[in-house]
Amino acid sequence: MTDSRHALIIANDRYTDQGLKKLRAPAQDAAALEKVLHDPQIGDFEVEVVHNASADVMRRRIQGFFNERRRADTLLLHFSCHGLKSESGELYFAASDTEPPLLAATAVPSQFVRSCMSVTRAGRSVLFLDCCYGGAFSRGSSSVRASGDVNVLESFAKDEPVSGRGWAVITASDSMEYAFEDNHLTEDSSAPRPSVFTHAVVEGLETGEADLDGDGKVSLDDLYEYVYRQVREHNPHQTPKKAAELHGELHLAHSRRGRIKIAAVPSPPSLQTALNSEEFLTRQGAVLELQKRLQHTELPVAEGARQHLEEVARNDIQQIAVMASEALGKIRLAPSPDHLDFGVMAKGSAPRKQSVTMHGPPLARHCVAQPRQSWLRVDPTGSGLEVHVDTATEGRLSGDIVLKGVADESVIHVEAEVAPAHKPVDTGPEPGTSDGPTEPSHGGGDEQHTVVIGPQGTPPRPKKPPKTTAAARRTDRRAPALAGAALALAVASIGTLVLAMQRAVTAIVERSEEGVHGTIEDNVREYGALTPLIVCLITGAVALVVGAVARHEVATHREHYTRQAASSTHTLTSIAKGLAIPALVLAVLAGIAYLVGSPYW
């Protein structure tokens, strides 16, 4: 996504007023929605979460969210909380300190949100409301139930935004039967949990199933239709609603449709217990066992291990998380070659073919291949795939085949030139090609040409192809460069330690010859033994820090790095670590020996 995209998620599940029922879903929903919206391969939003905030904080964050925006910005505001209707019929959003009898003072009115949306300079504003809408409340009556439903969309359709700007509101329901009675919120037995709506939003974006037209992007209309079906299927009493004034189509996310999905076999209970142990070595051993299971020829077993390792990489301490990330790096898709050039071919000639080999364990070789152009055709082979180019269309051809695995994606770039049939062409042999006849492709969409490569598994589902922009290519060199710098610093640390030791030995020999008339401080100062020792400590420490930064860069931006770049980074940083740590330990011991022993010399 090229435009600037910002999201604000407001989730309130705990309320100081006893009359407001505690909600079970908002906290978990907010975390799941933040993850999928922030993912650069799905939503690519800058996301901010406000959890259990007061009404004053909510108003400040909402107004600040809509202020100082540009026309190129797309804004998404999501509420997951109680929605309350005042006795005058106005809709309010409950804050953690909301008092139902004092809605105007302690809650956020829908009119305030509508006003912020109408004056923002952002080009597109989208509002998601996952709220249970309550009726009026009266402290003066011991058993007053408000009548009438909340017409949520009408609350947001009264004011048109500034001319030329688009807006949309999608709500979980327009009239849910919630009301206050005896200072307590009572809920109708048919009312759904508020999480049904947000869960459907997250699932549709994360899996790509919301991409109903299969164009690789999830539009607002796609998402609404998907959410509508899912919510109605889970609870017929709840009907999502939508209102919008948009110019053109609004794409909320990239589609991950087509990604391989494997029904995972969970790891043994004993292994899961070890992963949750408080003992470092026990968890480390569990990760090593998961690495072995990751190589398993049975894909469900390997997929179960992969899912556990992903959880460890996200949640455990750095040392164990790095181990898990390194193991996951071994199942990244590794096609060889990843660039095919068919050269010049005559129009209508028999299509040439080139072979691509998939490397790695079975789970890394299992993927879906999706040609992006109709003139490309892919056939699976025992070791990978064969690529064919249709010669029916003249001109320079350039296209991609997207490989989608369980954990990541890769792209095979293909180039060819189809010349007129009467024009002489170079028909010489090309690496990896043959001129045997193959069936020409027949055009059409991606679905026609999708094939499963590698060990047999379960049907496919996508992740966005890795970025190939100049910025991404620069990132691809950053981690190896940092790893190289870490190794250079570690070597320098060893060198300065050797120099310090040589000078210290010379100083000690000199001091021994002086007898009672000398001091070790004078000899050390004369031969300059402390300076290289200090330099050793500094360079060794910096080497460890730079190496950690390099490994973290690979772990957090795996989609930007080739398998070779990631492997070289880990190798260089491991060597640097192996040199720097002994140098630091010896330097510290030498320093302590000098400080302790110098008064007696």
- Average pLDDT along the chain, 601 residues, taken 10 residues at a time: 80 86 77 89 90 94 92 91 82 90 91 90 90 47 39 57 66 56 41 67 85 78 90 81 82 72 82 87 89 89 88 85 88 88 86 86 84 83 86 85 82 89 52 39 41 56 43 59 88 88 79 66 73 87 89 73 74 86 87 72 62
Give the per-residue pLDDT at 211.
81
Cis peptide before 101 (omega within 30 of 0): no
pLDDT in tens, 510-531: 767 666 666 766 777 777 778 8
Given a contact cutoff of 8 angstroms between Cβ atoms, the answer to whether 73 and 8 are in contact is no
Distance CA 20, CA 187 (A): 11
Which residues fall within 8 angstroms of residue 479, CB to CB, at 6 or more apart? 550, 551, 553, 554, 561, 565, 566, 569
How many CB atoms are located within 10 Å of the residue 235 CB?
Answer: 16
Euclidean distance between the first and the last CA atom of the chain, given in angstroms as a whole number: 69
Distance CA 73, CA 3 (A): 6
Given a contact cutoff of 8 angstroms between Cβ atoms, the answer to whether 57 and 93 are in contact is no
Q: Identify the DSSP state of 558.
A: G
**Residue 248, by phi and psi: left (phi above 0), alpha (psi -120 to 50) or beta?**
left
Distance CA 90, CA 84 (A): 8
Q: Identify the DSSP state of 258.
A: T
Distance CA 387, CA 197 (A): 43
C-alpha closest to that of 566 among 404, 310, 292, 326: 326
Amino acid at 308: H
H helix or E strand, kind and range, residue 544:
helix 530-556
Distance CA 440, CA 421 (A): 17
Give the per-residue pLDDT at 505.
81
Given a contact cutoff of 8 angstroms between Cβ atoms, the answer to whether 207 and 460 are in contact is no
Secondary structure in 3-state letters for 180-200 = EECCEEEECCCCCCCHHHHHH
Given a contact cutoff of 8 angstroms between Cβ atoms, the answer to whether 354 and 345 are in contact is no
How many CB atoms are located within 10 Å of the residue 19 CB?
Answer: 19
Which residues fall within 8 angstroms of residue 79, CB to CB, at 6 or more apart? 10, 93, 127, 128, 129, 130, 131
Given a contact cutoff of 8 angstroms between Cβ atoms, the answer to whether 368 and 362 are in contact is no
Distance CA 529, CA 506 (A): 9
H helix or E strand, kind and range, residue 547:
helix 530-556
Distance CA 584, CA 541 (A): 7
Give the per-residue pLDDT at 162.
45
Which residues fall within 8 angstroms of residue 228, CB to CB, at 6 or more apart? 239, 240
Give the per-residue pLDDT at 62.
95
Given a contact cutoff of 8 angstroms between Cβ atoms, the answer to whether 404 and 258 are in contact is yes
Query: If DSSP codes are grouped into helix, strand and coil, which group holds residue 62?
Result: helix
Distance CA 170, CA 48 (A): 20
163 half-sphere exposure, CB direction, 13 A CA radius: 0
